[in-house]
Amino acid sequence: MNKVKVISSGKALSADIEGIDLSKALDPATRATILEAWSEHLVLRFRGQKLSDPDLERFSAMLGPLDKAPTYSKGVRTDVGSDFVTVISNVVENGVAIGDLGNAEALWHTDMSYNEIPPMASALYSLEIPPVGGDTGFCNMYQAWETLPQDLRQRVSGRLCVHDSSTNSVGGLRGGYEAVTDVSKTPGARHPMVITHPVTKRECLFLGRRRNAYIVGLPVNESEELLDAVWAHTTKKELSWYQEWQVGDLILWDNRCVMHRREDFDSNSRRIMHRTQIAGSKPYGRVSATTA
């Protein structure tokens, strides 16, 4: 019998899934329950897990093939996770960081959307957490689109936006890049600002990240003004839910219709997370000929 419980957060997105040990193989009924809950709630939390990296990879691979870990910032050890496990941590051992993103605030973003084919999902598992701070927020991009004022809907519809590949979510320059000085030349993939989710077929906003973003074909000042207005709407509190971490939490989010951010925490505390990213498909949506 399937004893899995799905408990909604009651907020704009996310649900707890209870009654599953993710270190064990999942039967088809359990898998189906997870996928259905994921389509409905966009972010799923599994508490009290005890996962090795191979467990994390096996569970994530239930959704599809994994993407390799992204390029780490300069000076981060690259031999801690596997090729498919990204270490997110502020811990420094023998003068070398064991993971990326440090302890600073990470601004709202979609993982690796600067790639032509961004991951469809990320799974983030907590091994060590600070006593305070470091909460992770998630926002519902379907609702961001559905509630966007009509004039802004018209202005972004059919537009492409550039997703900056030169910096990470805490503002660090990635290896091999130079700082962007003119956003109309920002490196990174161009994606439609409104995409259709390939599974649910619902439309959602797809913004990626604000830093160095640019709406293709607009004068820079107009692009800045429009992006500011759309971002101000998207990051409203009522569209979000915040995860307060416990050790052993596994959070699975849909990277196509959810953005996330992380609050900062004390640099003297330790925080260690292991993340997988599940390969996606090329984002698609309506694109007007004039902007392509």
Residues that bind Mn ion (CB under 5 A): 111
Interface residue with ligand OGA, options 33, 110, 113, 169 (CB under 6 A): 169
Rounded least distance, CB 42 to ligand OGA, Å? 15
Tokens 């992380």, located at residue: 262
Q: Closer CB to ligand OGA, residue 92 or residue 216?
A: 92
Contact by Cβ (8 Å): 172, 71:
no
Torsion angles phi and psi, residue 181, rounded to 5: -115, -20
- Does position 262 interact with ligand OGA (CB under 6 A)? The reply is yes
| Contacts to ligand OGA from residues 8-37, by CB under 6 A | none
Q: Note whether 106 binds ligand OGA by CB under 6 A.
A: yes
Using CB under 6 A, which of 17, 59, 97, 111 touches ligand OGA?
111
Using CB distances below 5 to 8 A depending on partner kind, what does residue 191 bind out of ligand OGA, Mn ion, none?
A: none
Outline where DSSP puts E strands in the chain. Answer: 5-8, 15-18, 43-46, 66-67, 86-89, 92-93, 96-97, 100-101, 106-109, 121-128, 136-140, 160-162, 190-192, 194-196, 203-205, 214-215, 240-243, 250-254, 258-262, 272-278
With contact defined as beta carbons under 8 Å apart, do 203 and 177 qualify? no
Shortest CB 71 distance to ligand OGA, Å: 14
Q: Which one of 85, 88, 129, 141 is in contact with ligand OGA (CB under 6 A)? A: 88
CB-based contact 122:278 (threshold 8 Å): yes
Place of tokens 């490196």: 187
Taking the complex as a whole, the smallest distance from the CB of residue 88 to ligand OGA amounts, in Å, to 4
Binding site for ligand OGA (CB under 6 A): 88, 106, 111, 122, 124, 136, 169, 260, 262, 273, 275
